Amino acid sequence: MDFLDMQELLTELLNLENVKVNHYQNCGSQIILEIERESTSSICPRCGETSQSVHQNHWHMARDLKISDKDTVLKYNRRQFKCKLCKKPFSEVLNFIGERKQYTERFAEYVIKQLMHSNIHNVAKNNGITDDLVKSMLEYLRKKMEIQPE
Ligand SMILES: [Zn+2]
């Protein structure tokens, strides 16, 4: 399997909309996937102009759902574009992670579901994260449900 096929396969397995996997690293108990939005442009939130001019790359790490029972971390790029009309930089929107940086939307939902049969401390321990992170996920999902009740 050549590298391009591998990238396509990983991208399909990751199953995050409009996101591609650039690089894969297996570090024993942890898998690190380097990802980026597929699109090379982003829309300026101030004026609506489409920008293709990347001003800066900003790399962050976020926990995601396990792969083959290994903790999975996404190394993701939240690119900063520069709008040619406003002349100001802006950050692209990443739907799978929202404004947060440390975990994906679906990982937060997965962790919080476990609270139904357990408590914060045990859920944190079972997922290899801190109590505070579980609390922040709880708070985040609670706020989100208030904004858009389903
Ligand atoms: Zn603009």
Summarize pLDDT for 66-114 with one digit per residue, the tens: 988 899 999 999 999 999 999 999 999 998 987 767 899 999 999 999 9
Asked if 140 contacts 134 with a C-beta cutoff of 8 angstroms, the reply is: no
Residue 94 CA, ligand 1 centroid: distance in Å: 18
Name the band, by pLDDT with cuts 50, 70 and 90, for residue 1.
low
Residue 105 CA, ligand 1 centroid: distance in Å: 28
Whether 146 maps to a domain, the answer reads yes
pLDDT in tens, 102-146: 899 999 999 999 999 999 999 999 998 999 999 999 998 888 888
Asked if 42 contacts 84 with a C-beta cutoff of 8 angstroms, the reply is: no
The token duo for 70 is: 């290994």
| Containing structural domain, residue 148 | 103-150
Whether 135 maps to a domain, the answer reads yes
Whether 121 maps to a domain, the answer reads yes
d(C-alpha 90, C-alpha 69), whole Å: 37
Residue 42 CA, ligand 1 centroid: distance in Å: 10
Residue 43 CA, ligand 1 centroid: distance in Å: 8
Whether 143 maps to a domain, the answer reads yes
Spatial neighbors of 73 by CB under 8 A, at least 6 apart, are: 30, 31, 32, 33, 61, 62, 63, 64
Whether 109 maps to a domain, the answer reads yes
Whether 51 maps to a domain, the answer reads no
Residue 84 CA, ligand 1 centroid: distance in Å: 7
Whether 15 maps to a domain, the answer reads no
Residue 82 CA, ligand 1 centroid: distance in Å: 8
- For residue 72, what is the enclosing H or E element? strand 70-77
Name the band, by pLDDT with cuts 50, 70 and 90, for residue 150.
low
Whether 149 maps to a domain, the answer reads yes
Residue 93 CA, ligand 1 centroid: distance in Å: 14
d(C-alpha 23, C-alpha 35), whole Å: 7
Residue 80 CA, ligand 1 centroid: distance in Å: 13
Give the per-residue pLDDT at 99: 73
- Is the pTM of the predicted complex or chain greater than 0.75? yes
Give the per-residue pLDDT at 58: 93
Residue 97 CA, ligand 1 centroid: distance in Å: 23
Residue 136's identity, in one-letter code, is S
Q: How many domains does the chain have?
A: 1
